[in-house]
Structure 1
Amino acid sequence: MSKLIRVVIVDDHQVVLDGFIARLELEQDIEVIGTASHGLEAIEKVRELKPDVTLMDVSMPLMNGIDATRLIREEFPDAKILMLTMHDQREYIMKVMQAGAVGYMLKEITAEKMVQAIKTVDQGSTYFCETATQTLFSQEVLPSNTSNISPLSRREESVLKLVAQGNSSKKIASLLDISCRTVETHRQNIKHKLNLNSTAELAKYAYEKGIIE
């Protein structure tokens, strides 16, 4: 029997919530364990239920999904958050990546693709729908306006800087007052986001982007 993936869905429209729940209830290995209608409630639900995957809307009252994602990832670096949105603009996608989400889906996504996305991020990979991927890479060759934008969160940039300076995970954990496991999680997330595999590649990236001199 395959592992049951526990999911929390965050959206301020009840009709949307009901639709997503109805879709996912058809899957034997996915269970919706909770819902939230805004970012503040989402943080509380993640603290309480510790889901495997959180589906997070972007535009919500009280606190939007990007700010909620950032706060959740600061408290729970292992949290896997899939962003759900109507927006496919590059600026939204970059903000989502900087906040620490591991995936980006448009709400028009098919049920099959949604299930695939949930299973993909649950296994530790990232998932960006085809439209988001095309938006990102179609502008990749454009110069200055995109070259300054980092997909990393501030904490990830701090970890990357210390890694590039040759510090061990234990030393980084001590300097940032976090656990070694959290440092390792940040390192893996950085590698995923930048599509890099080795410490040497991370150091090269940090030099090229001016993170270290």
Structure 2
Amino acid sequence: MPNSVTNTQVTSVLLVDDHPMVQDGLTACLSYYHDINIIGTTQDGKSALAKALTLKPDVILMDISMPDMNGIDATEIITEQLTSTKVLIFSMHDSLEFVNSAMQAGASGYILKDTGSAEVYTAIKAVASGKTYFSPSIAAALAENPQEEEEEKTKLTTREQVILAYIAQGLSNKAVAKMLWNKFSDS
């Protein structure tokens, strides 16, 4: 599978999926590309946070439905803490609700698991270079159903909802920060 993209800079990738067979398949397919370096794999959102902070990958290929913490919540935290790391959602969910939630969380793209390895490669390189990337069927659905701007402004992210719940309980800013750290850290 030769590289058809002229960007030959090596892109470091962290794979996050709760199915070992998917991880193995992606690793095998992407190993053909000399400008992709799989620097780690993990099976849930919570461990993805720890690995992302340690490894600082260029791109995280992130599943959505996983144990311990889903990929959308993990994406939100990772993109807040590692601004140079891009998250590319890799999911079987083709619902615009999932796509919009992922984008609100800070994902740079969304591709479906029925995608071929060449498209996965193209998507990784696109988001690594600062672009967004969507599977063609997702892009078409987004074009047909654009989000209302007002709706986007009023919808709280998952993390904002958690913070609001803690504030409603009367916790101080310091206590909220400690609760968030405990909730989302491996300690």
Structure 2 residue 32 is matched with structure 1 residue 32: no
Greater RCO, 1 or 2 (C-alpha within 8 Å, sep 6+): 2
Listed one character per residue, the Cα deviations across residues 102-152 of structure 1 (whole Å, up to 9, x for unaligned) are 000000111111100011111111111111111111123xxxx84543289
Structure 2 residue runs without a partner (length 5+): 1-6, 158-187
Partners in 1 of 2:155 and 2:38 — Cα distance? 28
Divergent runs of 4+, >6 A: 151-155
In the alignment, which of 92, 95, 99 is matched to residue 98 of structure 2?
92
Query: Is the Cα contact below 8 Å between 2:58 and 2:84 reproduced in 1?
Result: no
Which of 50, 54, 58 is residue 52 of structure 1 equivalent to?
A: 58
What is the identity, as a one-letter code, of the residue corresponding to 1:137?
A
Task: Report the TM-score, using the length of structure 1 for normalisation.
Answer: 0.67
State whether residues 88 and 135 of structure 1, in contact with CA within 8 Å, keep that contact through their aligned partners in structure 2: no
**Superposed, which structure 2 residues align to 1:11-160 within 5 Å?**
11-140=17-146, 146-150=148-152
Aligned amino acid, residue 67 of structure 2: P
Q: Residue by residue, what CA displacement relative to the aligned partner does 1:165-189 show, whole Å, maximum 9, x if unpaired?
A: xxxxxxxxxxxxxxxxxxxxxxxxx
User: Aligned with 2:151: secondary structure?
Assistant: coil
Give the aligned residue type for 2:125: K
Percent of aligned positions that are identical: 41
Q: How many aligned positions are there?
A: 151
TM-score (norm 2): 0.76
| Matched-pair contact (CA < 8 Å) for 2:56–2:82 | no
What displacement does 1:78 show? 2.1
Give the alignment's Cα RMSD to 1 decimal.
Answer: 2.1
The answer (yes or no) to whether the contact 2:75–2:106 under 8 Å persists in 1 is yes
Letter in 2 for 1:149: E
1:83–1:105: 8 Å Cα contact kept in structure 2?
Answer: yes
